[in-house]
Amino acid sequence: MKIGVLGTGMVGETVATALVRAGHEVRMGSRTKDHPGAAAWAKGAGTRASAGTFADAASFGEVVFNCTKGEHSLEALRAAGEAAIADKVLVDVSNPLDFSKGMPPSLLVSNTDSLGEQIQRALPRSRVVKALNTVNAYLMVSPSNVPGDHNLFLCGNDPEAKRVVRGLLTESFGWKTGNVLDLGDITAARGTEQYLPLWVRLYGSLGNPNFNIRVVVGPAPTQG
């Protein structure tokens, strides 16, 4: 599959590399045509890898991953161009983290809105699926980094788009399909984004970003 990856940071590079290794053709997009990091990545990642602007990567991909930092995501997607992503599956991996108030970060969008929803509103013709934003970059593409079963969440308004993303998560990244939980429409991004404040506290407490959560379910209670 042809995939555009927006963002040249650790998340973008990790996701793009894993997609190339899984056999996809991947174009990494950045703000400028000649971003040194993106060019170096494309050179090192093999013949299926290329680099260009956000618009180049978005036009190239049948599926587009938003791996930009949350504070820049709307701007990056505007630069990519609404038409270039229209009707495509847009996997939103970003978190609206605000580091300007110190550590641990707070959120730029939260409570009755989410960055996933803002992106869906900004790109009404795109089929936004929020996914992967609840684990660190290495774990996104290599779930066996944490032993046993643990969960990933996805949400979005388009069931077919969610099927496409579930397929990429399972076939290209190795997530067990039973461990990928569908939380409903894109408003559920409020849930997965607002999990981040707990994630950062767990990270601080564990001293290790290589962790995830497993949802453990008991029998449904009978009304007493």
Q: Assess 139 for contact with its own copies (CB under 8 A).
A: yes
Distance between CA atoms of residues 124 and 111, nearest Å? 21
Are 93 and 132 in contact by the 8 Å Cβ rule? The answer is yes
Q: Which is nearer to its own copies, 58 or 137 (CB)?
A: 137
> Which of 173, 147, 125 shows the shortest CA–CA distance to 24?
173
Q: Which is nearer to its own copies, 47 or 223 (CB)?
A: 223
CA angle 192, 114, 151 (to 5 degrees): 10
Q: Which is nearer to its own copies, 1 or 107 (CB)?
A: 107
61 contact partners, CB below 8 Å, separation of at least 6: 2, 3, 4, 5, 27, 88
Q: Assess 207 for contact with its own copies (CB under 8 A).
A: yes
Q: How far is the CB of 20 from its own copies (least distance, A)?
A: 17
Q: Assess 124 for contact with its own copies (CB under 8 A).
A: no
Q: What is the torsion angle, in degrees rounded to the nearest 10, for the CA atoms of residue 185, residue 187, residue 192 and residue 193?
A: 150
Stretch that binds its own copies, among 16-24, 37-45, 47-55, 215-223 (CB under 8 A): 215-223
Q: How far is the CB of 66 from its own copies (least distance, A)?
A: 20
Residues that bind its own copies (CB under 8 A): 101, 106-107, 110-112, 138-139, 145-150, 153, 155, 181-184, 188, 190-192, 194-195, 197-202, 204-221
